[in-house]
Structure 1
Amino acid sequence: MNLAEQCATIDQLWASPFPDDHGRSAAGWGGPGYAVAELTRRHGAREEAEDRAEADRDELSALLAQSWGAPYRFSLWSVHARALEQGAVVSEPWGWLSACAQELHSWCVGERWVALAVAHQGDDQPYQLLAVVTGVAPP
């Protein structure tokens, strides 16, 4: 997916109502209060794939910053640690996202949050650039 297609996907997520139930959608997947789309998928050696996915995020983030201003960068490490170590309940989509991503680039656009995250869900899985749109502010 090129940058124009990625921006169109984010616009679609932002403008569409959130799903009533958890599951797949035309753009990706979501649940009550959030929607997610995979924008890129990077395979290969771990460090190289991660670097490429982060470069994808940074390039798209720079483009979005032209319209929405500089992103708010947020580490998900503490969110994940609170959930694991203290049993804290973390609102979705932040709970599952903190288990597979380390950092967000996010913007508050109208009444919704738009976030970009590089996710990795296991050693044999690719690195994914995800777009997340939600009505729930990051924790």
Structure 2
Amino acid sequence: MDIARHLALIDELCFRPFPAEHGPSDEGAAGPGRFTAVLASSHGLHESDQAERAATVEQYEKERDALYERLAPRWGETAPWNLRTVLLRTEREEIPEPWAGLSVLARVAYLWEAVGTGRWVAVAVADRDAADEVRLLAVVTEEAPP
């Protein structure tokens, strides 16, 4: 767990210019108005047993919560944001990216408006798809959450 490194990257993404085109980045993916950084990722868990996957999810949730503990004093305490409701809303309304995509990947996120940057920051554990790796994500975007 390298919380200091994760915080430094989140801080950098709050001020880095967004790219003009969608595509991969050194940290994950980026596009106009958004970055999705993979802070940590499992390797081979999409083929692994459920107990090992559950242990990894638990570890990444602890890391997400540790990030919350450091970001909350800066940007305010927030309740966990239930991404399941966002996912349900995608069935009947147009949800903007990166929020629609995040709701497909994760169940819960912590979310802040990064004061003084004009950007929103979310941290979440992407574990919804058992056929995919478990990832700890940071999303930085200028798109307000729905």
TM-score, structure 1 normalization: 0.89
Give structure 1 regions of 4+ aligned residues with deviation exceeding 6 angstroms.
none
Other-structure match for 1:112: 119
Contact 2:40 2:136 in 1 (8 A): yes
Number of aligned residues? 137
2:32 & 2:128 partners in 1: Cα distance? 22
2:9 & 2:56 partners in 1: Cα distance? 22
1:120 & 1:73 partners in 2: Cα distance? 16
2:128 is the alignment partner of 1:135: no
When structure 1 is superposed on structure 2, of 106-115 and 71-80 the one drifting more is 71-80
Q: Deviations over 1:82-132 (max 9, x none)?
A: 213x2x211000011111111110111131101101112632432211011
Q: CA RMSD in A?
A: 1.7
Contact 1:37 1:131 in 2 (8 A): yes
1:92 & 1:47 partners in 2: Cα distance? 28
Q: What percent identity do the matched residue pairs reach?
A: 39
Other-structure match for 2:7: 7
Bigger strand share: 1
**What secondary structure, in the 3-state scheme, does the structure 1 residue paired with 2:96 have?**
coil
In the alignment, structure 1 segments of 5+ residues that lack a partner are none
1:51 & 1:6 partners in 2: Cα distance? 18
**What secondary structure, in the 3-state scheme, does the structure 2 residue paired with 1:15 have?**
coil
In the alignment, structure 2 segments of 5+ residues that lack a partner are none
TM-score, structure 2 normalization: 0.85
Other-structure match for 2:67: 60
Q: Structure 2 vs 1, CA of residues 121 and 20 (structure 1 numbering), >3 Å: closer, same or farther?
A: farther
Other-structure match for 1:37: 37
